[in-house]
């Protein structure tokens, strides 16, 4: 080396050392894998760390900027998502281990396909104009929304825990759901992740200094977050002036174990539990008593003894009962039809003739999909044959304090489908009632994860949501996603047998008025498709060779 020559450590223009540049690829892959799994898991309930949802995509996005080998990147991120979602859905093992290890990796890989778009897009943004980078970031967020939307219908649909559900206890960011649906919240969170990743790459890998350290992607994320906050303040301003009582509602949580629920020999003890917990609610003088899904061991509509018992109980409580039960059309006939239904019983008229029939059935629980191929598999609900689907929202009219209030029932996990709640409101429902039975899934995270969807439905439709679960989560959620009551003990444990009552109030500004999302549906999904197309066009116009943008790691 000639005298005065710069050594690599003296050269100010030499590439800065980094984990991705100077270590084998597998080290980077392991680092990204672990971070992605941990951040994804703790972002969702039952963990109370929703702020991590703003960073759960950052490790994979930041790695994509360095353009790792495609196969390594894809295997790492899809495997991370598969593991994360197997952990998130771990409560499913209480019903089926096989189902858990099939559904968890499948959902994770489905969601993980977003990283394919990230790998292709992000390295092409380095050195590009601001407009191109922002268009591409919005397009990537649009890809995420489209993937979430496909989860509502593809292969029968399983839209459990969209990214927006991570924020179920942070009402500030949720209010845009009344305009865009929960997809808008997911969109903002993805932009925030991409903003953090772009800022980190600009600081640590692009070597930006001084004023050049600014990241327009990061400022775009801040702008969208501020828009969410401003919507929250606008909706909440002077809110107390517009509230009016609806009714005093008692939430009954009988917590009947699944192993005895369908045992005919346990019928007397089950009825005793229902009676004691319901009568305990009488001291609160409720206007309505809410029972969970399939709460009676026999059909309230078709079993004379069960019908008489529930009607008598309603008379003694002096309040209507809204409950879930099985219904059998043409019972005993060769072509009898089973439904999972919601029923109304009043002290004056007894069991109402009209009832709600569940529209979205649980695969392998209420029916066997593709029965010609999978007919050898048994349902995990040990009653009846395949259940039939309801054809409409069938709202129930309940007389409360002299007013006729229209209730839109949602049974089991129907509240995870935004379109079902929307159709119930379009049919005239002013209150949504979720009747469910989460006792199938133990005392882990399932009940909390499920309740998160009810919060999203409340904000989207601007309707109060009343929930009754057999073993949790039961309570009341207001039109703005605020949890106003939950059935729990003094330690906050929701997995209890008991009852609680609350005077449910309504925001009079939304009585008889539908939200923008309710009226216009999934328009935002179409907008995201447009943003995705626009971002792709912005990248293609004036595209520079990838070799000039980011150096691949060998």
Q: Bigger pLDDT: 480 or 438?
A: 480
Task: Name the pTM for this structure.
Answer: 0.90
Token pair for residue 346?
């009043």
Taking each helix axis as running N to C, give the angle between helix 97-112 and helix 70-88, from 0 to 180 degrees, rounded to the nearest 10. 140
Residue 373 has a pLDDT of: 59
Q: What is the average pLDDT value for the chain, to the nearest integer?
A: 88
Phi first, then psi: what are they for 95, rounded to 5°?
A: -105, -45
Q: Would you place residue 202 in the very low, low, confident or very high pLDDT band (cuts 50, 70, 90)?
A: confident
Give dist(CA 146, CA 144) in Å, integer.
Answer: 5
Mean pLDDT of 427-445: 92
Residue 463 has a pLDDT of: 97
Cβ atoms of 328 and 277 closer than 8 Å: no
Give dist(CA 304, CA 234) in Å, integer.
Answer: 53
Residue 297 has a pLDDT of: 81
Q: Which of 115-119, 260-264, 355-359, 419-423 has the lowest mean pLDDT?
A: 260-264
Label residues 53-82 b or e (16+ Cβ within 10 Å = b). Answer: bbbbbbbbbbbbbbbbeeebbbebbbbbbb
pLDDT(210) > 80: no
The alpha-carbon radius of gyration of the chain (Å, integer) is 26
Residue 554 has a pLDDT of: 35
pLDDT(542) > 60: no
Residue 262 has a pLDDT of: 73
Mean pLDDT of 24-38: 90
For the chain, domain boundaries:
19-237+523-549, 243-515
pLDDT(543) > 70: no
Q: Bigger pLDDT: 477 or 203?
A: 477
DSSP string for 475-495: EEE-TTS-EEEE---TT----
Q: What is the distance of C-alpha 75 from the center of its chain?
A: 26
Q: Could you tell me what percent of the chain has a pLDDT over 70?
A: 87
Token pair for residue 332?
């005993």
Q: Which of 101-105, 383-387, 508-512 has the lowest mean pLDDT?
A: 383-387
Environment class of residue 52 by beta-carbon count within 10 Å: exposed (0-12), middle (13-18) or buried (19+)? middle
Q: What residues have CB less than 8 Å from 374, skipping those under 6 apart?
A: 368
Residue 552 has a pLDDT of: 42
pLDDT(8) > 80: no
State pLDDT tens for residues 243-262: 999 999 999 999 998 777 77
Q: Which of 61-70, 104-113, 201-210, 468-477 has the lowest mean pLDDT?
A: 201-210
Q: Would you place residue 203 in the very low, low, confident or very high pLDDT band (cuts 50, 70, 90)?
A: confident
pLDDT(65) > 70: yes
**CATH 3.60.110.10 applies to domain 243-515:** yes
pLDDT(6) > 60: no
Q: Bigger pLDDT: 466 or 25?
A: 466
Q: Which of 19-28, 304-313, 394-403, 431-440 has the lowest mean pLDDT?
A: 19-28
Cβ atoms of 383 and 326 closer than 8 Å: yes
State pLDDT tens for residues 303-337: 999 999 999 999 999 999 999 999 988 765 667 88
């Amino acid at each position: 080396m000639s005298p005065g020559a710069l050594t690599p450590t003296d050269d100010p223009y030499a590439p800065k050392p980094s984990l991705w540049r100077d270590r084998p690829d597998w080290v980077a892959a392991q680092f990204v894998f672990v971070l992605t799994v941990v951040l994804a898991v703790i972002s969702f309930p039952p963990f109370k760390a929703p702020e991590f949802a703003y960073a759960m995509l950052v490790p994979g996005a930041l790695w994509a900027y360095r353009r790792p080998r495609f196969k390594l990147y894809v295997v790492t991120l899809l495997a991370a998502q598969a593991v994360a979602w197997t952990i998130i859905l771990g409560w499913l093992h209480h019903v089926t281990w096989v189902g858990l290890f099939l559904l968890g990796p499948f959902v994770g890989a489905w969601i993980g396909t977003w990283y394919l778009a990230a790998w292709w897009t992000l390295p092409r943004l380095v050195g590009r104009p601001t407009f191109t980078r922002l268009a591409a970031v919005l397009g990537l967020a649009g890809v995420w929304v489209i993937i979430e939307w496909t989860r509502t219908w593809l292969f029968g649909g399983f839209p459990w825990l969209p990214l927006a559900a991570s924020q179920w206890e942070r009402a500030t960011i949720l209010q845009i759901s009344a305009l865009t649906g929960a997809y808008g919240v997911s969109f903002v969170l993805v932009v925030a992740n991409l903003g953090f990743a772009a800022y980190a790459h600009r600081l640590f890998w692009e070597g930006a200094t001084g004023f050049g350290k600014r990241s327009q992607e990061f400022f775009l994320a801040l702008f969208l977050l501020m828009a969410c906050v401003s919507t929250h303040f606008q909706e909440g301003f002077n809110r107390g002036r517009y509230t009016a009582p609806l009714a005093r509602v008692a939430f009954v949580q009988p917590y009947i174990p699944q192993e005895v629920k369908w045992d005919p020999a346990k019928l007397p003890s089950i009825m005793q539990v229902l009676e004691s917990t319901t009568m305990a609610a009488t001291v609160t003088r409720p206007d309505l008593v809410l029972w969970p899904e399939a709460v009676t061991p026999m059909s309230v509509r078709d079993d004379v003894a069960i019908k008489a018992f529930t009607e008598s109980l309603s008379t003694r409580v002096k309040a209507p009962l809204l409950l879930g039960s099985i219904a059998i059309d043409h019972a005993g006939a060769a072509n009898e039809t089973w439904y999972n239904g919601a029923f109304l019983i009043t002290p004056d008229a007894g069991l109402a003739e009209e009832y709600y029939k569940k529209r979205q059935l649980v695969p392998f629980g209420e029916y066997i999909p593709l029965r010609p191929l999978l007919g050898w598999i048994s349902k995990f609900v040990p009653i009846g044959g395949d259940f039939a689907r309801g054809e409409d929202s069938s709202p129930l009219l309940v007389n409360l304090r002299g007013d006729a209030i229209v209730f839109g029932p949602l049974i089991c996990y129907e509240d995870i489908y935004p379109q079902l709640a929307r159709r119930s409101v379009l049919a005239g429902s002013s209150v949504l009632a979720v009747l469910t039975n989460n006792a199938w899934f133990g005392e882990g995270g399932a009940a909390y994860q499920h309740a998160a969807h009810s919060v999203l439905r409340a904000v989207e439709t601007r309707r109060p949501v009343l929930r009754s679960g057999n073993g949790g989560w039961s309570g009341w959620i207001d039109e703005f996603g605020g949890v106003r009551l939950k059935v729990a003990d003094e330690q906050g444990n929701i997995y209890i047998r008991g009852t609680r009552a609350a005077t449910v109030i309504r925001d009079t500004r939304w009585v008889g008025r539908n939200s923008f999302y309710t009226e216009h549906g999934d328009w935002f999904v179409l907008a995201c498709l447009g943003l995705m197309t626009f971002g792709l066009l912005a990248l293609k116009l004036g595209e520079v060779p990838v070799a000039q943008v980011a150096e691949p790691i060998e």
